[in-house]
A and B are shown apart, each in its own frame.
Chain A
Amino acid sequence: MVLSISSRRLMKELKEIETKGTPPGIQLLKADDMETWIFLISVLGDETVYKGETFALKLKFEPGYPIDYPQVTFLSDDQYQPPLHPHVYSNGHICASILGSEWSPVLTALSICITIQSMLASCKKKERPPGNDRYVRSAPLNPKLTRWAYEDDTV
């Protein structure tokens, strides 16, 4: 069997997660195939507005990974809800520059999780992005089809 480029890269990443583990607050929940992985993300410590909350981050890899970035969304189902954050829409879509114009093929599934975790950690006020309802009504399923404008790097 000839493995695709993305599968080979993901198998290496998976092996590294299995041998070296994940950073505190990040846990691999599901990686049954080389297409969709789910990580659990929480912010540790007392200084966070998300104390005690756990979120599920879904990464969907396309054949062009890692030249192309994956589809990254927070799960929104019976068990998990997206965090209330000024860059996270209620449908789970995330506005983050590394998931768009600032993507680099040296980034990994784990480094995406770490970036998202630190985005949550620096949040001071739980609120939805302006225009959340309007966006969610018309948003495509795939967040990569949305043209994002990155306005604020501080949260």
Chain B
Amino acid sequence: MKVTILSYNSVAAWKWDTSTEPHKLCDYATNGDTDDYDDDDDECGICRLAYESCCPACKIPGDDCPLIWGECKHVFHMHCLLKWIDTESSKQQCPLDRRPWGKVDDWCFDCLR
């Protein structure tokens, strides 16, 4: 039987990669394997909204409302974390482990190269 495709609608889904260990990130990149991921931790600890939704101050999820990683590997919506870090009472500490907040930009990309 010969089938001719006249038209199709493509559907895509996206998800922030919040894995905390580089080797897992590589697994994910090569195999697309998400089984090992801890789905309980898929929301921002500050606003309690999903990473994939935007922070409460934004309207459109995605690149305009990105995530931010600390050196301690904890992840938050960037806007939520900055609101906290901008306060005096934060003492510039991670909300989860109270270690000094340091931003990590590069390690995850290094691993994928």
Name B46's contact: one of A13, A103, A106 (CB within 8 Å): A106
Question: Are A12 and B84 in touch, CB under 8 angstroms?
Answer: no
The reply on B56 being an interface residue by CB < 8 A is yes
* B51-105 at interface with A (beta carbon < 8 Å): 56-57, 80, 83-84, 87, 89, 95-96, 98
In the bound assembly, the distance between CA atoms of A5 and B49 in angstroms comes to 11
Chain A binding surface SS class: loop
In the bound assembly, the distance between CA atoms of A86 and B83 in angstroms comes to 34
Question: Nearest chain-B residue to A104 (Cβ)?
Answer: B95
The reply on A52 being an interface residue by CB < 8 A is no
- The size of the chain B interface, using a CB distance under 8 A, is 15
Question: Are A9 and B56 in touch, CB under 8 angstroms?
Answer: yes
Name A12's contact: one of B49, B83, B96, B98 (CB within 8 Å): B49
The reply on A66 being an interface residue by CB < 8 A is yes
A72 to chain B, nearest CB (A): 15
Question: Are A13 and B84 in touch, CB under 8 angstroms?
Answer: no
Interface-centre pick from A5, A9, A67 (highest chain B CB count, 10 A):
A67
Interface-centre pick from B48, B49, B87 (highest chain A CB count, 10 A):
B48
In the bound assembly, the distance between CA atoms of A8 and B55 in angstroms comes to 11
Instruction: List residues of A whose CB falls within 8 A of some B CB.
Output: 5, 8-9, 12-13, 66-68, 101, 103-106
Query: Can you list 5 pairs linking A and B with CB atoms under 8 Å apart?
Result: A5-B47, A67-B83, A67-B84, A105-B95, A106-B95
